[in-house]
Chains A and B, each alone.
Chain A
Amino acid sequence: MSDAHPPADHRPRYVIGVTGLNAIDSPGPGVAVIRALRESPAFAVRIIGLSYEALEPGIYMHDLVDKTYQLPYPSAGTQVLLERLGEIHEREGLDVIVPNFDAELPNFVRLAPRLAALGIRTFLPTMEQLEARDKLNLRAFGEAHGLLVPQQRLVHRADELAPAAEQLGYPLVIKGRYYDASVAHTLEQARQAFHQLSAKWGLPVIAQEFVQGHEINVAALGDGTGRTLSVVPMRKLYITDKGKAWAGITLEDETLLQLARRFVAGTCWRGGCELELMRTADGRPYILEINPRFPAWIYLTAAAGQNQPAALVRLALGLPTEPWTEYAVGRMFIRYAWDLITDNHEFHQISAFGEL
């Protein structure tokens, strides 16, 4: 019989709710956020998964997620969400929630003061910040802040495509209001994309100038005063047919760091964000989109020495958090698929009772 005991853990322990457990081919960031949080040397965690669908893989990753509760869909509104979070809080004593879906962010932003009153902290952008970087406003935002954004036109009717194509030229990028994009080489292809994307995501659809180059993403964390605490650029090395990075590598490029800092300073960005860029052959970085949350590859920031999710939790808790100045360049991630095995009683449990 061994009398060895594990060393005592004197770190504070926080109960953290995390959404975005859909680690699928177009992955949510939740599992990567949790992985980073678990590696924080400053605190220990109990992770409460917050799911929308019973087949989100993170629900069944018991080494990462201690307990999962299902949430109502964002379309149900803030009151239903608040009631559900209140129930979960009574049982778990949530310290912090890290929401990771674009579609749920407005509800969480609106609820932030009421959650804080319950003792649940968040660290989120404001509604004004969400609006400013919205796809529909991105071009104007770029012009106001001296950032390169491809030309774009909002298209409400199919007959507006021809003048848009005349202005922007082919190939033309047709983008959905919230998600998805398609490259059209002819007016017919543009029309087809318009109908598909407007049926799925509503109007308007965005017609955007096509920019040729390398896809680069930048993960950044702003403290809400204009200060950038962390910025890590990553080049996509392998891209799936959904346009997602399946492998990537951290870059050393001061212009990318400055670009992210300019965005954070210009908006006083509060929380995590991702700048999706296209760098042209002559080195100009065009901003294609700005996501108001951590990306699915966020664990790479922790692996490169800047654990952005852990820093965000510290910000949410009002703990001192200093900017990082260095990260490992050339650090790579290679995503993989893994068949997670579980028993169907777990699936029944989350499906029928909304918790596991």
Chain B
Amino acid sequence: MKLKKNIATSETGFIFNPATGDSFTANALATEILQLLKQDQSPAAIKTHLLNRYDVEPNQLEKDWDDLVAQLRDHQLLD
């Protein structure tokens, strides 16, 4: 899973897709995930990082992860 190369993200959670002109605001956790995706980290590595950092059950993380991926795909932000 990779963010499209031209997607602009900011530390404040602002996402801009220059091909469509769409803008989005991400919450703090989604922003963190997007930053890690931009650094070319794999989904497995990001999930491990999140499990270590936050008090979250693996099942819950998987569910939230799938939701986020579906939204990113829906908004044409993924390659």
Which residues from chain A sit less than 8 Å from chain B, CB to CB?
214, 235, 237, 248-249, 251-253, 329-330
Neighbouring A residues of B8 by C-beta, 8 Å: 330
Instruction: Give the docked Cα–Cα distance between A251 and B16 (Å).
Output: 10
Contact A330 B16 (CB under 8 A): yes
Q: Is B39 an interface residue (CB 8 A)?
A: no
Contact A330 B20 (CB under 8 A): no
Neighbouring A residues of B19 by C-beta, 8 Å: 251-253
Q: Smallest CB-CB separation from A281: which chain B residue? A: B76
Instruction: Give the docked Cα–Cα distance between A268 and B6 (Å).
Output: 32
Neighbouring B residues of A330 by C-beta, 8 Å: 8, 16, 18
Known: A252-B18, A252-B19, A253-B18. 17 other contacts (CB 8 A): A214-B20, A214-B21, A235-B20, A235-B21, A237-B21, A248-B21, A249-B21, A251-B18, A251-B19, A251-B20, A251-B21, A252-B6, A253-B19, A329-B18, A330-B8, A330-B16, A330-B18
20 contacts between A and B (CB under 8 A): A214-B20, A214-B21, A235-B20, A235-B21, A237-B21, A248-B21, A249-B21, A251-B18, A251-B19, A251-B20, A251-B21, A252-B6, A252-B18, A252-B19, A253-B18, A253-B19, A329-B18, A330-B8, A330-B16, A330-B18
Neighbouring B residues of A252 by C-beta, 8 Å: 6, 18-19
Q: Quick one: CB contact mask for B15-48 with A, threshold 8 Å, 1 for yes?
A: 0101111000000000000000000000000000
Neighbouring B residues of A237 by C-beta, 8 Å: 21
Instruction: Give the docked Cα–Cα distance between A286 and B8 (Å).
Output: 27
Nearest 8 interchain pairs by C-beta: A235-B21, A252-B18, A249-B21, A329-B18, A253-B19, A251-B21, A330-B16, A330-B18
Shortest CB distance B58–A (Å): 35
Instruction: Give the docked Cα–Cα distance between A237 and B17 (Å).
Output: 13
Neighbouring A residues of B18 by C-beta, 8 Å: 251-253, 329-330
Shortest CB distance B18–A (Å): 4
Neighbouring B residues of A329 by C-beta, 8 Å: 18
Q: Smallest CB-CB separation from B16: which chain A residue? A: A330
Instruction: Give the docked Cα–Cα distance between A237 and B21 (Å).
Output: 8
Q: Smallest CB-CB separation from B76: which chain A residue? A: A283
Shortest CB distance B19–A (Å): 5
Neighbouring B residues of A235 by C-beta, 8 Å: 20-21
Q: B8, B16, B20 — which one has the most chain A CB atoms within 10 A of its CB?
A: B20
Instruction: Give the docked Cα–Cα distance between A48 and B8 (Å).
Output: 42
Q: Smallest CB-CB separation from A251: which chain B residue? A: B21
Shortest CB distance A216–B (Å): 8
Instruction: Give the docked Cα–Cα distance between A214 and B8 (Å).
Output: 20
Instruction: Give the docked Cα–Cα distance between A329 and B19 (Å).
Output: 9
Instruction: Give the docked Cα–Cα distance between A68 and B41 (Å).
Output: 62
Instruction: Give the docked Cα–Cα distance between A251 and B8 (Å).
Output: 13
Neighbouring B residues of A249 by C-beta, 8 Å: 21
Instruction: Give the docked Cα–Cα distance between A214 and B16 (Å).
Output: 16
Instruction: Give the docked Cα–Cα distance between A186 and B8 (Å).
Output: 43
Instruction: Give the docked Cα–Cα distance between A235 and B23 (Å).
Output: 12
Neighbouring B residues of A248 by C-beta, 8 Å: 21
Instruction: Give the docked Cα–Cα distance between A249 and B22 (Å).
Output: 9
Shortest CB distance A250–B (Å): 8
Shortest CB distance A110–B (Å): 39
Instruction: Give the docked Cα–Cα distance between A235 and B6 (Å).
Output: 17
Instruction: Give the docked Cα–Cα distance between A252 and B16 (Å).
Output: 11
